[in-house]
Amino acid sequence: MRRDIFQAIADPTRRAIIALIAIQAMTPNAIAENFNSTRQAVSKHLRILTECDLVKQEQQGREIYYSLEIEKMKEIDQWLEQYRQIWETRFIQLDDLLSTIKNNNNE
């Protein structure tokens, strides 16, 4: 069963992990060094992110490196874009209303 991607990114630790590995691929130990939690807790977060296809694993010798799955992040961005357009339209409408109120008060 696949996990919900939005539940996965709702967790602040998982968002921080995403930010870390967006810059460069990292091992679980290297990721864990950035948090005040156990290596096992970080591994659980990585497993959830992997199940959601937000991160991918690559074996390099004896180490596993985690990196960001850019295409999946693009899917999230596309979903958010529809709401971004609504927010921008509402901000423009609010700005127009405030300008109208300000102009009416100056008359």
Number of domains, the chain: 2
Mean pLDDT (the chain) is 91
How far is 57 from 27, CA to CA, in rounded Å? 9
| CB environment 51-80: b (16+ within 10 A), e (fewer) | ebebbbeeeeeeeebbebbeebbeeeeeee
Average pLDDT over residues 59-65: 95
Same domain? For 49 and 82 the reply is no
How far is 33 from 39, CA to CA, in rounded Å? 8
Same domain? For 9 and 52 the reply is yes
Tokens of 29: 């130990």
DSSP-derived 3-state class of residue 86: helix
Same domain? For 13 and 51 the reply is yes
Same domain? For 59 and 93 the reply is no
Same domain? For 96 and 46 the reply is no
CATH code at 54? 1.10.10.10
Average pLDDT over residues 28-57: 94
Average pLDDT over residues 4-31: 93
Give pTM, 2 decimals: 0.74
pLDDT of residue 70: 87
Same domain? For 107 and 63 the reply is no
